[in-house]
Structure 1
């Protein structure tokens, strides 16, 4: 997103926002709104489809341990750095995401054991009508910020307006659809969603972080600001050194420590997060005893690198944890904003040359499987499934948007012979390139006298190894691809501004696909700085599939829409799919433990939530 440029512009924007918030604050009382009453009952939770799994009288979340001891320290490592303590502005990559949930909390909290359900937190209950056109949140009168000031409806409305105007692209997009936001009293907020036609919209509002109106500086919200935010969560920030270190200290007076959705969670007295250059540096920090927990992403290291003294003597434990979420997608992304990649035949030919079979055997000890779908290992994947009548009806309006083999569920990424130099695949790619008007002249692939040359933007040594192998494969058919490593700050800036030809992109999968798809693939997200539309995708077929997904009223409808979206994406060859393992490899100190029941749909940035872990050192002796 474009950042505010001049101080005068920021002051004008702040003044307008302040005026808008003032108007909201003086809206008519409840009696004046009685002509449009809510139809829905008061309930303790929200679900995308049906009802939440837990009843109103639930004691704790299934993956929490209410008997876990409080105390001890958790030492974590993160790759990269940070230059801000605001994780909600448009400059997503500049702030530690662990602030979310630990320091700054939302109206309601998502259960990580259900596909998409929310339970009470700042809001103790919610009202919603059957059409999902009106949602009302009732704030818990006990809710407090960490300075013990009450959380009021004015804070909720302030947060809504601020995020709508200055927040991340996803906040701005969905909040802009809200017809009105009204404070019915100091502890009640009502949102009018008439005409939105998105079942997920009330849940996105439930997940909205609540910021302090009194202390949040509107005029500095989209700056790189290291001001420590006032939150309502279980931790406060006790130390922050830009780019290097963040320390969270547990608030002994956390107002929600005994409510069911928080019971048994947030057990460490202190969480220390140090920042490292890359995965190799994080691994060395673990070996040196500087970290208590690390998730491994290198199959080679996982297979052979963990034979060091702390593992052998049991001080560090290796665990393989298995979530229930879809696998998502990681791949080399074509930036279609660059004219060189406009021809889908060129993109398909380039994708053919990625030799997964050789790479898996030689780089990953055979532990990975090829990624085939954006919603892999879930009901939402189109792989191996012929299109249903509902899918065909949706896609029939866009002739040519989906290939026949994709429509029939027969398409798979090209399989190589494992030699590292599969000539049959190379000939197929060359034939496709010739069809697209390319030819090899003096060993270089050209079209109209212009050689095909592009850069692959990468961020660390693991990506570099993969990119170098891919570049070598492309060179055999005359394509010059040049991998280039950027430091974390440069990498994030270029990603946010789409200043790359190709990069390795990752699309995390959620239990139920929804609003995030709009920010990844819609025409509306194409030119929004810092959107997740890394490929520069824009087509009526993609927009129609996303609209159908968001308008789905039943799970069967959402499955049809998601599979249609999957087929359009696969047919467009916006990426070169890489590989995945549907497991989380973690190594951790033997002194920290987690419940036997681990959540099915864990949140990020860590693959498995750490909020339900505890330190055995804190247990009374």
Structure 2
């Protein structure tokens, strides 16, 4: 019998990964797609030529090169191009991480700790080796002096310690959070020796020291910044980086607004634009001669990613929006169908989920797996969660907005509001608020909404401010209503606490913009984070989705489910578009192609 047992144990050990054995990669659930020793990701050209320049655009300005603090504005591209992490995600899986700075990760079945071994060749751009001390320093400084989001994201980490010449171990707090080894893998690693003696929590225009494929080159705040490819980049031949970061230079020019930016693209001032406005996509490229003679291209690329939620967001810290009936009523004044047909040329779909365009979105009534999650919370959540599939208010073109406004008025009256001399009032105070915008393009969407609110006796004002003022007001929650969005991954986890938890609601700069404080939501967030497998993750996420929707924290807007790209025909790119959409830094310059020949 002992011999049989030993043989069975040997067979198990031979066919499954050893518990706690160092691995090249790790998946949130199950096994990573790519085995040890893989050569490159499937959505890249491993032989892509190096060279040329990619010129991009951004709006607004920047006044700091420290992207990790809640002060100042930093330029696009800085974190992704200059800094690196222990591991890197694959764009063709829901959530798997593969070693970058770390050559391996070691974690037990319960994922109560994780040890990463740093590659011998891992270097900062000044040639100094990356050490376990750098990793420990990064966690400490980000949690201590970084933006509030870092404190929430890394709250489950008990301690980090050096356990070998190239090894660092993270011990996690008790609880079921299987995501933490992957979360740590994503953490940007900062050079301890470069930050010693400097004020980390102050803005700075000193060129940062990173370990990534690019360095900061020339720049002028408010005008441009150039990233220059590091010819000695230590990770260029790793499987996770092969075929990526092919341009010698990446330049961002800054423009006042989207209209000026588009004209600059057509004039050849920069190369590539991802279009965010439906009207511009439908009409504003018609006069671009380069499209007609095929010197430029315009592409619509569908994707398979969750589109999250874009919405008018109530500031629940304002007593005006404390009553869910009031929040629900105002949603009836937004006419998406008219907006999509008249302003967007029918390009969008209505957002009806915080995880739209994915299997994570709640549909129909709760199934058995969801009910197991929701039943213990029945007395703390809206009853509609159990009885009615959520749908945002819709309008019929034949009748327009009038029926919806009648429903809205009934809800407002139930909440104690009355129309007096054409104004909606309660306790002698008028219903009055401000919608804060940063993009002038949103005025054409918001002003019709304001006119519909006026028919209810509500005085809503639109105020559009510059990006600096907007960022500061958002950080301080100094607004009544804004247009907000929450992008979602295919594997939700710790970020949900930053989005919705009571703890995050009062932290300046947090992603809980609306100020949600709901014990049931807190419970559901914890359950999402602790989901032991994919099936339960989906069920718990759908349950969270239903509760968020039926509390009417936002007025859902729309999503696209695709990318609209316009660019000069200067680039080659792989034929495969991965699950997470096009990967611009897997593209390459055709001029480099010719040079290689």
Q: Is the 8 A contact 2:152 2:497 kept in 1?
A: no
C-alpha change, 1:241 and 1:186, in structure 2 (3 Å) is farther
2: CA distance between counterparts of 1:466 and 1:257? Answer: 45
1: CA distance between counterparts of 2:506 and 2:197? Answer: 25
Q: Could you tell me which residue of structure 2 aligns to residue 305 of structure 1?
A: 284
Q: Could you tell me which residue of structure 2 aligns to residue 392 of structure 1?
A: 371
Q: Could you tell me which residue of structure 1 aligns to residue 558 of structure 2?
A: 579
Q: Could you tell me which residue of structure 2 aligns to residue 138 of structure 1?
A: 117
2: CA distance between counterparts of 1:183 and 1:427? Answer: 65
2: CA distance between counterparts of 1:136 and 1:97? Answer: 32
Map residues 482-561 of structure 1 onto 2, 5 A cutoff.
482-561=461-540
Map residues 390-429 of structure 1 onto 2, 5 A cutoff.
390-399=369-378, 401-408=380-387, 410-418=389-397, 421-429=400-408
Q: Is the 8 A contact 1:395 1:541 kept in 2?
A: no
Of the structure 1 ranges 212-221 and 429-438, higher mean CA displacement relative to structure 2 is found in 212-221
Given candidates 580, 590, 593, the residue that maps to 1:616 is 590
Displacement after TM superposition at 1:182 (Å): 1.3
Q: Is the 8 A contact 1:327 1:580 kept in 2?
A: yes
Of the structure 1 ranges 422-431 and 395-404, higher mean CA displacement relative to structure 2 is found in 395-404
1:222-270 deviation per Cα after TM superposition (whole angstroms, max 9, x unaligned): 2121111111111000123223211000011100110100111100000
C-alpha change, 1:419 and 1:100, in structure 2 (3 Å) is farther
Of the structure 1 ranges 297-306 and 405-414, higher mean CA displacement relative to structure 2 is found in 405-414
Root mean square deviation, CA, Å: 1.6
Structure 2 residue matching 1:396: 3-state secondary structure: helix
C-alpha change, 1:194 and 1:515, in structure 2 (3 Å) is closer
Map residues 565-576 of structure 1 onto 2, 5 A cutoff.
565-576=544-555
Given candidates 69, 80, 90, the residue that maps to 2:60 is 80
Displacement after TM superposition at 1:401 (Å): 4.3
Displacement after TM superposition at 1:202 (Å): 0.8
C-alpha change, 1:461 and 1:521, in structure 2 (3 Å) is same
1:369-391 deviation per Cα after TM superposition (whole angstroms, max 9, x unaligned): 1110001121211122x213343
2: CA distance between counterparts of 1:400 and 1:433? Answer: 24
Question: 5+ residue gaps in structure 1?
Answer: 1-37, 603-607
Q: Could you tell me which residue of structure 2 aligns to residue 229 of structure 1?
A: 208
2: CA distance between counterparts of 1:420 and 1:71? Answer: 58
1:349-385 deviation per Cα after TM superposition (whole angstroms, max 9, x unaligned): 001110011111110011111110001121211122x
1:471-509 deviation per Cα after TM superposition (whole angstroms, max 9, x unaligned): 011111111110000101000000111000000001112
Displacement after TM superposition at 1:435 (Å): 0.7
Q: Could you tell me which residue of structure 2 aligns to residue 473 of structure 1?
A: 452
Given candidates 182, 190, 194, the residue that maps to 1:215 is 194
Asked if 1:62 is matched to 2:42, the reply is: yes
Q: Is the 8 A contact 2:76 2:252 kept in 1?
A: no
Displacement after TM superposition at 1:562 (Å): 0.7
Structure 1 residue matching 2:189: 3-state secondary structure: coil
Given candidates 358, 361, 379, the residue that maps to 1:381 is 361
Structure 1 residue matching 2:283: 3-state secondary structure: helix
Structure 2 residue matching 1:214: 3-state secondary structure: helix
Displacement after TM superposition at 1:86 (Å): 1.4
Q: Is the 8 A contact 2:390 2:546 kept in 1?
A: no
1: CA distance between counterparts of 2:399 and 2:345? Answer: 15
Q: Could you tell me which residue of structure 1 aligns to residue 144 of structure 2?
A: 165
Displacement after TM superposition at 1:331 (Å): 0.5
Q: Could you tell me which residue of structure 2 aligns to residue 51 of structure 1?
A: 31
Q: Is the 8 A contact 2:59 2:254 kept in 1?
A: yes
Asked if 1:337 is matched to 2:311, the reply is: no
1: CA distance between counterparts of 2:425 and 2:573? Answer: 57
2: CA distance between counterparts of 1:163 and 1:577? Answer: 33
Q: Is the 8 A contact 1:182 1:191 kept in 2?
A: yes
Displacement after TM superposition at 1:39 (Å): 5.2
Structure 1 residue matching 2:376: 3-state secondary structure: coil
Structure 1 residue matching 2:395: 3-state secondary structure: coil
Q: Could you tell me which residue of structure 2 aligns to residue 4 of structure 1?
A: none
C-alpha change, 1:54 and 1:288, in structure 2 (3 Å) is same
Q: Is the 8 A contact 2:272 2:567 kept in 1?
A: yes
2: CA distance between counterparts of 1:219 and 1:392? Answer: 52
Q: Please, what TM-score do these two structures have when normalized by structure 1?
A: 0.90
Structure 1 residue matching 2:555: 3-state secondary structure: strand
Q: Please, what TM-score do these two structures have when normalized by structure 2?
A: 0.94
Q: Could you tell me which residue of structure 2 aligns to residue 100 of structure 1?
A: 79
Q: Is the 8 A contact 1:169 1:531 kept in 2?
A: yes
C-alpha change, 1:51 and 1:39, in structure 2 (3 Å) is closer
The runs of at least 4 consecutive aligned structure 1 residues that moved more than 3 Å come to 397-406
2: CA distance between counterparts of 1:173 and 1:327? Answer: 23
Structure 2 residue matching 1:126: 3-state secondary structure: strand
Equivalent residues, number: 577
Question: 5+ residue gaps in structure 2?
Answer: 1-17
Structure 2 residue matching 1:611: 3-state secondary structure: helix
